[in-house]
Structure 1
Amino acid sequence: MSMNLTKKIFIAVSCLLLPLISNAQSVDSNKNQLPEIGVVASDTLTIDKEVQVGKAVMRQLRGQAPIVHDPVINEYIQDLGNKLVIEAESAKFPFSFFMINNATINAFAFFGGHVGIHSGLITQADSESELASVFAHEVAHVTQRHLARASQAQKRSAPLQIASLIGGILIAMADPEAGLAAISAGNAGAAQGRINYTRSMEQEADNIGISMLARAGFDPAGAPAFFSKLAQQSRGQSSQLEFLRTHPVPENRISETRARAATYGTRNIPASLNFSLVKARIIARYEGNPLRNINYFGYQVQEKKYVFREAALYGLALSYFESEQYASASQILTDLLNEDPENLFYLDAMTDVLIAQQNPKAAVKMLTPLWQFKPKNSVLALNLANAMIQAKQYPEAIQILRDLLLVNPEHFLAYSLLIEAYTATGQKRQMYKASAERYGLLLAYPKAIDELQFAYNESGMDFLEKQRIKARIEQFRNEMDTLERL
């Protein structure tokens, strides 16, 4: 990966958006006090409106940021996040966790329960508790409605205008230093009180996050351990740069988080195989190059430099796959599946290998009984549907994908596979409809409406279907109007 790993910095969305909120509207000096935790900013931003804005921002990000649509990684981070949300107080909506393909250490949360992490956050964490501590911190930002409370302090709310400043996040994704410089420049005239305002929120998120971490069964010491790592990586940066960050300087937080974590006592949490597997997957598929990764994981296996041998072998198998050495990948994955035949990491990788070997029917045979036992599992459903498409079993694949979309109507990858299946079978009307929905997930409503117009033209004399399409067009237009009114 071309991203320079020595430039890693930690910028949560509260660092990116909250100062911009403060800079976007003037604030009286007596408005800088942090509201009590019970304040929910209901007079400026209702829960329903927050969800609407969060949905819009998520769709904007989906269209502009390198979001990873990887079913195995998505399931892992969603499961990890859910363990923390269950222990959170005042969780008023379902949370959605997603990953950005970026080697920097970064995590951010925004309206409506959306939490994003960079791939570098996972690969640079040394334990699942370290990773979970960042998740918990961001969940706390959401449950405490920090963005909404900041809007309340501005006397008037303009959440979508604030959300549109997501561009700052996108700059930081491409070049962390440039993104941080742009954010800092935008805050050159900010009063010290505004920075203290957001730092108070950071302290609150730290405290609530550590408590959440402990209740969820993780090691609270993961939080200060991760801050120590950030402190080491931030050395050498200018004091002015540190000063303008809304996150307090990591060194200033380590002692506080360490003291709070100590109140829960020492916890010996076993290492997590899934955490090691997801790290190996990210390195093998999204970082470096196949030859480098083969050497990297091969060294781990040979010298026994690993936490889990299975994870090192899994990373090696994926690296062989990326270099098109399918036989070598298959041999390793076969051995891993013999030891753990229902492991989703191994099944997903073996499916890719079998398809690459022009044997998708073997993948269908491998996955079908497991999917029949767990039909709601998205990893099994997506892999089986993909294998069925490659095996030209289109009706079965279409049914699996339609069922999955009933449960998760914003599943971008499911729509992509569905479009592929409809295209292969010449079902133009259904293909246009599915394409419209996918455009809708990108906030590209004009293109979505165009696709539905094509679907309408393909409907012939089916007047009932035409009415359905016209109704969906009207829904998209209403959503466009709603965005303008937010």
Structure 2
Amino acid sequence: MKLKLPSSPKKIMCLAVLTATCFFSASIAPSSTLAQNLPTLGDTERQDLSPLMERKLGEQIMQSVRRDPDYMDDAPLSEYLNRLGNRMLETRPDARGEAMYDFEFFAVRDPVLNAFAFPGGFIGFHSGLILTAQSESELASVMGHEIGHVAQRHIARMIGSQKVDSLIPIAAMILAALAARSSPDAAMALAVGGQGVAIQRQLNFSREAEREADRVGFQILRDAGFDTAGMVSFFGRLQVATRNYNDTAPAYLRSHPLTSERMADIQARMIDQRYKQYVDSFEFSLARARVRVLQTDTPQGYMDAATFFDTQLKTDQEDSKLAARYGFAFLAYKQKDYAKAQELLDKVVKQVETSPRQKIALKTTSMFASLDIDIKLATKQYDTAVKLAEQAMQQLPLSRGIVYQYVDALVAANRHEDAARFLRDQVQLYRQDPKLQNQLGKVYELQGKQALQHIALAEAYALNSALPAALQQLDIARRAPDAQYYDQAVIDAKEREWKEKHKDEMKDEKNRK
């Protein structure tokens, strides 16, 4: 399913009306701090969609999102977004709620300006929004707003007001939002079928949800040390766009209605705030350069990116210049001009090393190391790639992307046993990471270890909430000629656990119908 929006403005507007509330996440019960000025959720609402059910619903949606070709599966970018989001959550841990969910922040390749939140703490950003944000505080203001939707459990509250077939309209809206990008007609049918006469009630609720998300987002933005004027400036520019373009207003405004009352409320909160200057991180500039290249794979798109970087080089801002040079290196890599990419990357790294403020990024972000390793792998310098990845893991022990690259480098260097040993340790440390299990399965395949290969793949499917596929992999593992007694015991235990879990899921599904 290709992520593309409908071409007709009327279809976009109509679809936006039907799908607006699907982007109002609700994974956690609000704490007393966040909810001090908000209505308290009653037990009825909490029964309609529990935090556990919200997370499960969000994970099911994310399965479709991650399979989409326009999902930006780019580790350095994901790490930046998640670092920024977790920094905001650290100042207000109560936003995670009683379930203490691990939020996931991600990006999708789409030039349309939009952001959204799914149940369970999954928050996505269109590449167009990341590039439109003129400061890190602006990007953080959108992030805070979406966290506010999650913290206030807006889907659970919406369901509490409906009481009837609660999950059906939500599923329809989510499917419509995804279908809209490939088939406007199909999206309309899904949305209309799921919504019916409840549309107006949901729209009315969505306006209140927006005000609540503004309130919580503003608090998080302030407490995290960002410039709260970022929220005002971002929404202000969107409001101007609404007046100028009417039916072709930015998608963010169509799914997040911006009323005069909301703007007035945000501005009123600004009056009581002492101005606090916030200096954008260098990583923000690097992330935007990376997004500018990642959002396209066409010759014209690459030419547009090069033109933009040329313009950036003429500015007086050091961050912009260095980010443009990094962008050129990354662009050369994507165009498979590896010699040029290496030359440009080496030059920009030397320049960053001599910059007092920017050189910190060499030890705090994987942007440079990841690109260097990618170039080494592309040019078959496998041993060098292994050494670079080992050094990067020492400097950036929390970078999952570097871990994946290290495994790729070991495999490329035919060090399969080293890769398997490393991955076995990693899956013990990070038990909820399906990508590690997938890599382990591939390494076992290269070693000819069929039973272990399919057990690892089963774990990966289970972590992605695809239990039928996981059980199928266990069945293949059981019949593998090299399955040992211990392997059979593991297979039996996991099969019992997953069959029981799948049975419970099917029962829940039947009860909802």
TM-score range, shorter chain: 0.7 to 0.9
Aligned to 2:47, what secondary structure does the other structure show?
coil
Q: 1:289 aligns with which of 274, 298, 303?
A: 298
Distance in 2, matches of 1:69 and 1:232, equals 33
The 5 Å alignment of 1:453-468 reads 453-458=475-480, 460=482, 462-468=484-490
Contact 2:3 2:181 (8 Å CA) reproduced? no
Contact map agreement 1:423 1:431 (CA 8 A) in 2: yes
- Per the alignment, residue 22 of structure 2 pairs with 17
Where does residue 304 of structure 1 map in the other structure? Answer: 315
* Distance (whole Å) between structure 2 residues aligned to residue 175 and residue 214 of structure 1: 40
Q: Letter of the 1:264 partner, please give it.
A: Q
The whole-number CA distance in structure 1 between the counterparts of 2:194 and 2:103 is: 30
Cα–Cα, structure 1 residues 294 and 134, in superposed 2: closer, same or farther, change >3 Å?
A: closer
> Do the aligned partners of 1:11 and 1:108 also contact (CA within 8 Å) in 2?
no
Please give the secondary structure, in 2, of the residue aligned with 1:386.
helix
- Residue 479 (str. 1) matches residue 490 (str. 2): no
Preserved CA contact (<8 Å) 2:22 2:170: yes
Per the TM alignment, residue 445 of structure 1 is displaced from its structure 2 partner at its CA by: 3.1
Aligned partner of residue 123 in structure 2, secondary structure: strand
AA paired with 2:111?
A
1:394-405 pair list within 5 angstroms: 394-405=416-427
Alignment correspondent of 1:29: none
Q: Distance in 2 between matches of 1:161 and 1:181?
A: 12
Q: 1:54 aligns with which of 35, 51, 58?
A: 58
Output the CA distance in 2 between the equivalents of 1:63 and 1:443. 14
The question of whether the paired residues in 2 share the 8 Å contact of 1:14 and 1:147 is answered with no
Q: Give the counterpart of 1:214 among 219, 222, 237.
A: 222
Larger deviation, residues 430-439 vs 204-213: 430-439
Query: Structure 1 349/12 Cα, relative in aligned 2: closer, same or farther at 3 Å?
Result: farther
In the TM superposition, 1:90-109 aligns within 5 A as 90-92=95-97, 93=100, 94-109=102-117
Match for 2:269: what amino acid? Answer: R
Query: Letter of the aligned partner of 1:100 in structure 2?
Result: V
Higher mean displacement: 342-351 or 442-451? 442-451
Instruction: Quote the Cα distance in structure 2 between the aligned partners of 1:157 and 1:182.
Output: 15
Query: 1:114 aligned to 2:126?
Result: no
Contact persistence 1:430–1:455 (CA under 8 A): yes
Task: Decide whether the 8 Å contact of 1:199 with 1:248 is kept in 2.
Answer: yes
Match of 1:470 among 459, 477, 492: 492
Residues 399-456 of structure 1: CA deviation (Å, up to 9, x unaligned): 3334333344443443443333223222222222232233335544333222221111
Partner Cα separation in structure 2 for residue 239 and residue 370 of structure 1? 45
Which residue of structure 1 lines up, in the alignment, with residue 132 of structure 2? 124
Unpaired runs of 5+ residues, structure 1, are: 22-33
User: Which among 258, 276, 279 is matched to residue 270 of structure 1?
Assistant: 279
Q: Percent identity?
A: 27
- What TM-score results when the alignment is normalised by the length of structure 1? 0.84
| Aligned counterparts of 1:480 and 1:138: Cα–Cα separation in 2 | 31
How far, CA to CA, are the matches of 2:130 and 2:17 in structure 1?
15
What is the deviation of 1:37? 4.1
Quote the residue 2:163 is aligned against.
Answer: 155
> 2:375: which partner in 1?
353
Residue number among 76, 85, 89 corresponding to 1:85 in the alignment: 89
Query: Does structure 2 retain, via aligned residues, the 8 Å contact 1:16–1:168?
Result: no
Query: Cα distance 1:379–1:471, how it changes in 2: closer, same or farther (>3 A)?
Result: same
- Root-mean-square deviation (CA, aligned residues, Å) is 3.8
1:323–1:247: structure 2 CA closer, same or farther, 3 Å change rule?
Answer: closer
Cα distance in 1, alignment partners of residues 25 and 284 from structure 2: 34
Checking the alignment, whether the CA contact within 8 Å between 2:18 and 2:195 is kept in structure 1 is no
- Compute the displacement of 1:141 (Å): 1.0
Q: Which runs of 5+ in 2 are unaligned?
A: 27-36, 354-358, 509-513
Structure 1 Cα separation of the partners of residues 5 and 172 of structure 2: 28
Distance 2:460 2:340 in 1: 36
Equivalent positions of 1:175-214 (< 5 A) are: 183=191, 189-190=197-198, 192-214=200-222
Give the Cα separation in 2 of the matches to 1:294 and 1:61: 26
Cα distance in 2, alignment partners of residues 12 and 146 from structure 1: 17
In structure 2, relative to structure 1, the CA distance for the partners of 1:268 and 1:224 (3 Å cut) is same
Shift of 1:298: 4.8
One-letter amino acid of the structure 2 residue matched with residue 197 of structure 1: F
More displaced stretch, 208-217 vs 62-71:
62-71
Shift of residue 209, structure 1, vs aligned partner: 0.7
Size of the alignment, in residue pairs? Answer: 473
SS in 1 for 2:333: helix
Cα distance 1:373–1:303, how it changes in 2: closer, same or farther (>3 A)? closer
- How far, CA to CA, are the matches of 1:197 and 1:351 in structure 2? 49
Alignment partner, residue 236 of structure 2: 228
Task: Please tell me the residue identity of whatever aligns with 1:335.
Answer: K
Deviates more, 1:98-107 or 1:321-330: 98-107
Cα drift, residue 217 of structure 1:
0.8
Q: Given that residues 24 and 154 in structure 2 are in contact (C-alpha distance below 8 angstroms), is that contact kept between their aligned partners in structure 1?
A: no
Q: More displaced, 377-386 or 214-223?
A: 377-386
Could you tell me whether the CA contact under 8 Å between 1:137 and 1:208 is conserved in 2?
A: yes
Contact 2:289/2:323 (<8 A) preserved: yes
Amino acid at match of 1:107: A
Return the alpha-carbon distance in structure 1 between the equivalents of residues 240 and 426 of structure 2.
44
Distance (whole Å) between structure 2 residues aligned to residue 157 and residue 191 of structure 1: 14
Aligned residue for 1:115, secondary structure, equals: strand
Amino acid at match of 2:39: E
* Deviation for aligned residue 1:46: 2.8
1:166 deviates by: 1.9
Sort the Cα spacing of 1:377 and 1:399 in 2 relative to 1 into closer, same or farther, 3 A.
farther
Q: Deviations over 1:210-243 (max 9, x none)?
A: 111100111111112222233344443449999x
Greater alpha carbon shift after TM alignment, 35-44 vs 266-275:
35-44
Amino acid at match of 2:290: R
Letter of the 1:36 counterpart: P
Tell me the equivalent position of 2:462.
Answer: 440
Measure the CA separation in 1 of the matches of 2:185 and 2:257.
18
